[in-house]
Structure 1
Amino acid sequence: MAAVLPEDISIAHHHGTDPHATLFPEEEPFVARAVAKRRAEYTTVRACARRALAALGRPPVPLLPGERGAPRWPAGIVGSMTHCPGYSAAAVAPAQRWRSLGIDAEENAPLPPGVLDMIALPADREALATLPPGGPSWDRVLFSAKESVYKAWFPLARRFLDFSEAELVLSEDGTFAARVLVPGPVRELGGRWAVGDGLVVTAVTVRA
């Protein structure tokens, strides 16, 4: 994850689930009926977020889901969390330096059949067709990049952004550009992608 984020953003991650991670009492109701796997991921990613906050000198606090499940960060902080099977990560930064950020992690494997049809616009497909074979699973990179775009855009716009409402162009150099197709506070977004340890990770940052 450090490969896709600026150095002044605090990052914490964990491979697998953390058996020592615990929840605040305020967080417990949100996973009271969750299966063990979901609870472990929810707990681990919040432990990552609290470690990332601690690196900024912030005390541990409950991190509760807000509108559309987006985490509610402490005042003066922007951040993002992600988890996929076997990996969790969180990134946080001071709001006076960054307006918003979004991160995502996925397994580096082709999307299941039919998913690309659901998330890719014709322009996305044309851009994918120009990328060389033998690299990462480009369709998965696209999916992850769109997730990061949404996570960075939502706190600014306060509205849902569908996969069909942003066009992306991936570049071989580990960057991507996104154009949001609906009105909002930000229409052009840039991000980075990387692969390693069987994962695809992406990030979008918006400077203050």
Structure 2
Amino acid sequence: MNTAYLPPCCSPLKSHWPLPHSLPALQLISTTFNPELLDAADFSRCAVAPVRGVAKRQAEYLAGRLCAREALMRLTGAATVPACGEDRAPQWPLGVVGSITHGSGWAGAVVGNSADWRGLGLDIEQLIPASRAERLAAEILTPAELFRLENLSAEQRAQRISLTFSLKESLFKALYPQVLQHFYFQDAELLSVEADNKVCMRLLIDLHGDWPAGSELEGQFAEFDGYLLSLVSIPS
């Protein structure tokens, strides 16, 4: 396996913590990628199983897997690439939980030991323009979340809609490996957003196992370069 080769479509892998609140024993690796620079042979050069799709899909998948492999190497000492399951979820090594995200030229992966963390959900989004955010609001937000937007400016509303979308994506990624049950935007709500970018979310439906309706979970987010990055982390 050539773990040293980095395809021209990816920037150097970056080990950092862009979120406002540090968490113990987690590794987060990111890169930026350009689909126009992808070469069909890059998958074999990187020893990553190829994925079907247009150049954008292939580039983001490769970038995400390279971030995951580096994060796993730093966490466990083994440079493994998570396979893609039948449900399209990453298949992490035994004893590890993690999450991969990619979109709009940015990819990242976060991993931790299952002894420390039950679930991790990471999501990157570009901030949604105000006009599009308003069109999507009713699909993403519950009636209570929509009510909380009423006194916000158009820019603040767009940011909150973008944030809610990203956090619900992160929530799904954090919980799905535990419950193996699909749930949707209207099945959870964002309860609060603190000044330090901490958030609290609540499930509105019963999920399999330890997650009944009313369960509350914490997350955090950061904004940079027009991106919004969110993380839902569930301690063991």
Q: Same fold (TM over 0.5)?
A: yes
1:68 partner SS: coil
Could you tell me how far 1:133 is from its partner in structure 2?
Answer: 6.3
Specify whether residues 26 and 85 from structure 1 end up closer, same or farther in structure 2 by C-alpha distance, changes over 3 A only: closer
Which secondary structure state, in structure 1, belongs to the residue aligned with residue 84 of structure 2? coil
Write the letter of the residue equivalent to 2:148.
A
- Higher-Rg member (1/2): 2
Question: 2 CA distance for matches of 1:182 and 1:58?
Answer: 39
2:141 pairs, out of 96, 112, 120, with 120
State the aligned residue count. 205
Does the CA-based 8 Å contact 2:66-2:81 persist in structure 1? no
Unaligned ranges ≥5, structure 1: none
TM-score (norm: length of structure 2):
0.78
Deviation at 1:89, TM superposition (A): 0.5
The structure showing larger relative contact order (alpha-carbon pairs under 8 Å, at least 6 residues apart) is 1
More off after superposition, 2-11 vs 198-207:
2-11
Segments of 5+ residues of structure 2 without an aligned counterpart are: 1-16
**Structure 1 residue 127, shift from structure 2 partner:** 2.8
Q: Which moved more, 1:101-110 or 1:11-20?
A: 11-20
Out of 71-80 and 168-177, give the one that drifted further.
Answer: 168-177
**Could you report, residue by residue, the CA deviation over 1:67-96 in whole angstroms, capped at 9, with x for unpaired residues?**
531111011000001011110000000000
CA contact (8 A) 2:30 2:108 kept: yes
Give aligned-pair identity as a percent: 32
RMSD over aligned CA atoms reads 2.4
State how 1:144-159 maps to structure 2 within 5 Å.
144-159=166-181
Give 1:41-80 correspondences, 5 Å limit: 41-80=60-99
The aligned residue for residue 16 of structure 1 is 33
Query: TM-score of the superposition, structure 1-length normalised?
Result: 0.88
Shift of 1:26: 7.0
Aligned counterpart, 1:3: 19
Is the counterpart of residue 82 in structure 1 residue 105 in structure 2? no
Q: Which moved more, 1:72-81 or 1:111-120?
A: 111-120
Q: 2 CA distance for matches of 1:2 and 1:58? A: 23
Distance change in 2, residues 1:128/1:55 (3 Å): farther
Deviations 1:100-134 (CA, angstroms, capped at 9, x unpaired): 11010001233635222111111111233455665
| Alpha-carbon distance in 2 for matches of 1:180, 1:75 | 27
